[in-house]
Amino acid sequence: MLIKNANAYINGKFRIRDILINGEQIVKIAYCINAKNEEIIDANGLIALPGLIEIHAHLREPGQEQKEDFLSGSRAALAGGYCLVYDMPNNMPKPTITKEALEKKKMLAKNALCEIRFHFGATKNNFVEVRNAKPESMKIYLGKTTGNLVIKSNVALKHMKNFPKGKQIIVHAQDGETVEDAQTGVQTAIKLAKKATRKIHITHTSTAKEIELAKKWKLATVDTAPHYLFLNKEEAIKMKPKEKMFVNPPLRNKKEVACMWKELEKIDAIGTDHAPHLLNDKIKGAHGFPGLETALALFLDAHSKKKISLDWIATRFSENPAKIMKLNKYGKIANGYFANITLVDLRKVWIVKGKNLYSKAKWTPFEGRVLKGKVVKTIYKGKVVFTESV
Ligand code: NCD
Ligand code: ZN
């Protein structure tokens, strides 16, 4: 396959290049490559981002396939520009906390349309399971949320000490509703990581102070979710039904959101926290938003309003997630890397509508937003797996 004339993020800069793909890999990047028998993709006028990497999603299979499954979730991912998705362990009724559960998930995810990897849940007594299952990464819940995986800090410390230092631990640090609660949670997580002298990744920070606190530990990285930058409490309260606005951690007020925007440079990654629930479940109090199909576009739109650079987007959606998860051959458009490429049209204006989502949630907290910028093609390991239909 040959991608012609893409404005591609290569080596820290956008440049117009041709990209030659052989099998699953990028084999040549040059100003002009001549095609012989290649399938040609004309990317003239399009931006090429390294295929997006989602480090925080809930794909719900097995157990709650009515909300999402690997097929629908991966379709949503590709439509949002993602080639690789990390799935969270808080499945109900059976969380991913045993070797058996992890292997079952790996099997089930074989029908996914993009790559799926798995965070393994830490519990108060699954130390042997962790050793046997040899997961790529771990998720620690210090705060209450969907599922039942909260552990005490002394147990979390033991996991942090036991889990291989080279592997990543994602921490849900925030417990409770207030900003102070969230900040205390982050402080605790950092204290534990320091004691264990290990790297951790604090997910869904929603206040500037949490980021500041996390950054006091040199081996800590942070992400935030799009809703902590593009929604605020004052506006969300008007949602109908009002229960739609429930999410963990909760949405913050306008002032906090403005402070988050000032910390953009310190945010290492965007994790959507794609947490699909059917509207019926939302009305009964389920917390969480679908996010895979709107995340990138919200930031592209912010770029069109000159609030954010394309370099920032490329690093936070692809390059840094690859670093955080210590992935080889992912997160860059470069020779020898996997041919995961997201083609974006910055001119395309569209309206977000829940009913058009591939996610089974079929609603979105961003309903009705007019966004400028959209994924038009997603290339996963050398194959076009998503093409925009309108
Ligand atoms: C998530 C879910 O529904 O699984 N919900 C949420 O509000 N974010 C769980 C989580 O990530 O905390
Ligand atoms: Zn989550």
Q: 67, 227, 252, 287: which to mutate for ligand 1, most atoms within 8 A of CB?
A: 287
Nearest ligand 1 atom to alpha carbon 286: 3
Question: What are the residue ranges spanned by the domains of the chain?
Answer: 2-48+337-387, 53-324
Nearest partner of 70 among 91, 99, 51, 53, judged by Cα = 91
Q: Are 285 and 247 a contacting pair, CB within 8 Å?
A: no
Task: Write down the catalytic residue from 69, 87, 223, 273.
Answer: 273
Q: DSSP secondary-structure letter at 13?
A: E
CA of 191 to the centre of ligand 1 (A): 24
* Ligand number with the minimum distance to the CA of 290: 1
Q: Which residues pair with 18 in a beta bridge?
A: 30
Interatomic CA distance for residues 4 and 19, integer angstroms: 7
Pairing verdict, β 52-57 and 13-22: unpaired
Interatomic CA distance for residues 381 and 337, integer angstroms: 9
* Ligand number with the minimum distance to the CA of 87: 2
Which residue's CA is the nearest one to ligand 1's atom 5? 288
User: 139 CB less than 6 Å from ligand 1?
Assistant: no
Is 87 considered catalytic here?
Answer: no
Distances (CA, A) of 96 to 104, 105, 131, 325: 9, 8, 14, 19
Sequence-distant (6+) residues with CB within 8 A of 69 are: 59, 60, 61, 360
CA of 147 to the centre of ligand 1 (A): 8
- Residues of the chain with pLDDT below 70 are 390
Class of domain 53-324 as given by CATH: alpha beta
User: 91 CB less than 6 Å from ligand 1?
Assistant: no
Q: Which residues pair with 324 in a beta bridge?
A: none
CA of 78 to the centre of ligand 1 (A): 21
User: 287 CB less than 6 Å from ligand 1?
Assistant: yes
Do the domains spanning 2-48+337-387 and 53-324 agree at the CATH topology level? Answer: no
Query: Does the pTM exceed 0.85?
Result: yes
Residue-wise DSSP of 335-364: TTSB--EEEEEEEEEEE--GGG-SSTT---
Give me the CATH topology for the region 2-48+337-387. Urease, subunit C; domain 1 (2.30.40)
CA of 203 to the centre of ligand 1 (A): 11
Interatomic CA distance for residues 59 and 69, integer angstroms: 6
The secondary structure element, H or E, covering residue 224 is: strand 220-224
User: 247 CB less than 6 Å from ligand 1?
Assistant: yes
Q: Which two tokens stand for residue 81?
A: 């520009």
Question: What pLDDT digit, counting tens, does each position of 159-188 carry?
Answer: 999 999 999 999 999 999 999 999 999 999
User: 60 CB less than 6 Å from ligand 1?
Assistant: no
pLDDT of residue 390: 63
Provide the CA 183 distance to its chain's centre, in angstroms: 22
The four Cα atoms 197, 198, 204, 206 give a dihedral, to 10 degrees, of 30
Percent of the chain as helix, strand, coil, to the nearest 5: 30, 25, 45
Nearest partner of 293 among 72, 106, 67, 61, judged by Cα = 72
Q: 59, 90, 150: which to mutate for ligand 1, most atoms within 8 A of CB?
A: 90
User: 146 CB less than 6 Å from ligand 1?
Assistant: yes
